[in-house]
Amino acid sequence: MKLQQLRYLVEVERRGLNVSAAAEALFTSQPGVSKQIGLLEEELGLTIFERSGKRLTAITAPGRIVLAMAQRMLVEAQNMKRVGEDFAAESSGTLSIATTHTQARYTLPPVIQRFVRRHPAIRLHIQQGSPLQVAEWVMDGSVDLGIATEALDRYPDLVTLPCFQWAHKVVTPRDHPLLAMQPLTLAALAGYPLITYDATFTGRSRIDRAFERQNLRPNVMLTAIDSDVIKTYVALGLGVGIIAEMAFDPARDEALAAMPVSHLFEGNTTRVGFRRDIWLRGYEYDFMELLAPQLTRRMVEATLKGEGADPGL
């Protein structure tokens, strides 16, 4: 049994049982992959893939078990490399983060700035997507850390830690009639066309839930994944915006006025998440602490220990 064979195996599964695609993804030849998988099956004395003639059609029951084991072994192998990077240099390495637009645009810049100053040789990779995508990327190992307000905590194989809390703000043009209203009500908001986040983004669930509770049907006339887009359309007078508070900058957004609405919508908690079974490098602990001061290395490690429950296979 070779680790290569396991890599081939896992990749074939990831590519929907397409050996050619797997070979391409691994920069090797298709026959090689085919052969090694055959050898592995022979060595283990079982068939991992069901074949109809020469085409792989399904994964057998033992195959599924073997696959799960292979994945764990590969994660462990990757962790070993991480330990190397971690202890050896602390200077080289890559930190890849998946997050949503709001975090990438408003929360992360100062964090990243300090991180880069402290770890100048670490290459950074920020991948932007929906909270669900963020979670999936963390799950499949294509990024190390995921930062999002939604979705992350729905994956039991991820460790998620709360970073900070935030509230929404309502933004309007500076001359908007709502600005005179004290205090602002949901009913009043529902009287205007609304511009806010896309269905699965950045606390949108809290917004919807608040209106639902009062049986209001808000007129959401435009949604975006991007606070800047929302603000732009609000400035054009197309409606009233509901955005994350950190996305409003009085200096930069001088065409707009913002009103606190923490009394209308539930608070949101932005979380950082990572796979329970990966090895966190020193600079990843550092990054988390920069992101949220309470996430010290000691605290994160304690959480890992405490949550040690492994659902396993």
Partner DNA sequence: ATCCTTTACGCCCCGCGTAACCATC
Partner DNA sequence: GATGGTTACGCGGGGCGTAAAGGAT
Interface contacts to a second copy, rule CB under 8 A = 1-3, 43-46, 61-62, 65-66, 69-70, 72-73, 76-77, 79-81, 83-89, 305, 308-312
Residue nearer to DNA on the CB measure, 38 or 141:
38
Cα radius of gyration (the chain): 24
Are the beta carbons of 82 and 281 closer than 8 angstroms? yes
Site for DNA in 42-71 (CB under 7 A): 51-57
Task: By CB under 7 A, tell whether 19 contacts DNA.
Answer: yes
Task: By CB under 7 A, tell whether 38 contacts DNA.
Answer: yes
Contacts of 194 (CB under 8 A, 6+ apart): 218, 219, 220, 221, 239, 240, 241, 242
| Beta strands in 100-218, from DSSP E residues, in sequence order | 123-128, 145-148, 158-166, 168-173, 193-197
Q: How far is the CB of 160 from a second copy (least distance, A)?
A: 18
C-alpha to C-alpha distance for 55 and 95, rounded to whole angstroms: 39
Total number of residues that touch DNA (CB under 7 A): 25
Residue nearer to a second copy on the CB measure, 77 or 181:
77
Residue nearer to a second copy on the CB measure, 250 or 311:
311
Instruction: Report CA dihedral (24, 27, 31, 33) to the nearest 10 degrees.
Output: -90
Q: How far is the CB of 201 from DNA (least distance, A)?
A: 34
**Measured between alpha carbons, how far is residue 264 from residues 28, 152, 222, 225, 310 in Å?**
56, 24, 20, 21, 39
Residue 83 interacts, among DNA, a second copy, none and using kind-specific CB cut-offs from 5 to 8 Å, with a second copy
Q: How far is the CB of 50 from a second copy (least distance, A)?
A: 13
**Positions that interact with DNA (CB under 7 A):** 2, 4, 17-20, 27-32, 34-39, 51-57
